Amino acid sequence: MKIPTIHGYIDRRILINFSADPKSVENIIPFPFRPKIYKDKAIVGICLIRLKDIKPKGFPDYIGVNSENGAHRIAVEWDENGDTKSGVYIPRRDTSLKLNAFVGGRLFPGKHYLAKFNVQEANGKYHIDFKSSDETVTSIDATETKLFNENSIFETVENASDFFENGDLGYSPNKDKFDGLRLKAYKWEVQPLEVSHVKSSFFENEEIFPKGSVTFDNALLMTNIEHEWKSEQGK
């Protein structure tokens, strides 16, 4: 599937990151992908992103659409032409926009589940929760901070930032293949969030991830980022 280059603005993006048992992650990602390991752990997470003025590049902003979205992500590697490549595998996408849910997998990469989002943001505090059409639930309460989580396996916000910036290429399942989409952020700036509550029924599903195999690690915030999405060759 080839889509035109999409341009718009990331109004707000929260990356909720977990460390996970690599063996558990191996069980849910398809060939040719394998978990990307950081300090003996696989890295999984959720991207909660509000997009503004999304439209084909070159068109005026006023024709663009806005939406709240959630993407469950797994950091992966694969072999390609003798080299090791890295990115993210996205087993599911959720969206507030009916258009995305309708055309996902045909125009946009991957199936999109329609979800109801509840968002409250003020004075550096964030509450976001959503419930999807298949009853998947995600929620987070967080506050802007200058201090990175001292218990994170990444140790510093710079280490975490570099890791996720390098995961700019995402693959989503589409029937018997995987559609590729690369994020080109015009600037890359993250800041840490202090998290008081986080829930993901996907990562808490013990039929997929045995109890204790997934642990919250950190959360990062991005705001006001002009960007493009570019279609990449599928797999």
Tokens representing 34 are 């394998």
User: What is the band of 82 on the pLDDT scale with cuts at 50, 70, 90?
Assistant: confident
Q: d(Cα 220, Cα 145) in Å, to the nearest integer?
A: 10
Alpha-carbon dihedral angle through residues 188, 33, 206, 112, given to the nearest 10 degrees: 60
**Integer angstrom CA distances of residue 39 from 42, 152, 154:** 8, 11, 9
Q: What is the pLDDT of residue 99?
A: 61
Q: d(Cα 190, Cα 53) in Å, to the nearest integer?
A: 21
CA angle, corner 122, sides to 118 and 123, nearest 5? 155
Q: What is the pLDDT of residue 2?
A: 62
User: What is the band of 104 on the pLDDT scale with cuts at 50, 70, 90?
Assistant: low
pTM: 0.91
User: What is the band of 176 on the pLDDT scale with cuts at 50, 70, 90?
Assistant: confident
Name the residue among 67, 25, 6 with its Cα closest to residue 202. Answer: 25
Q: Is the alpha carbon torsion for 101, 25, 128, 165 positive or negative?
A: negative
Range in 97-101, 111-115, 151-155, 193-197 the model is least confident about: 97-101
Specify the amino acid at residue 40. Answer: D
As a whole number, mean pLDDT of residues 29-47 equals 96
As a whole number, mean pLDDT of residues 164-183 equals 88
As a whole number, mean pLDDT of residues 205-231 equals 93
As a whole number, mean pLDDT of residues 168-184 equals 87
Q: d(Cα 83, Cα 61) in Å, to the nearest integer?
A: 39
Helix (H) or strand (E) holding 165: helix 157-165
Q: d(Cα 184, Cα 233) in Å, to the nearest integer?
A: 16
Does 105 have pLDDT greater than 50? no
Beta strands 214-232 and 177-185 are antiparallel
Name the residue among 185, 201, 63, 183 with its Cα closest to residue 132. Answer: 201
Q: What is the pLDDT of residue 197?
A: 96
CB 209 within 8 A of CB 24: yes
Ramachandran angles phi, psi of 2, nearest 5°: -120, 120
pLDDT over 70 percentage in the chain: 94
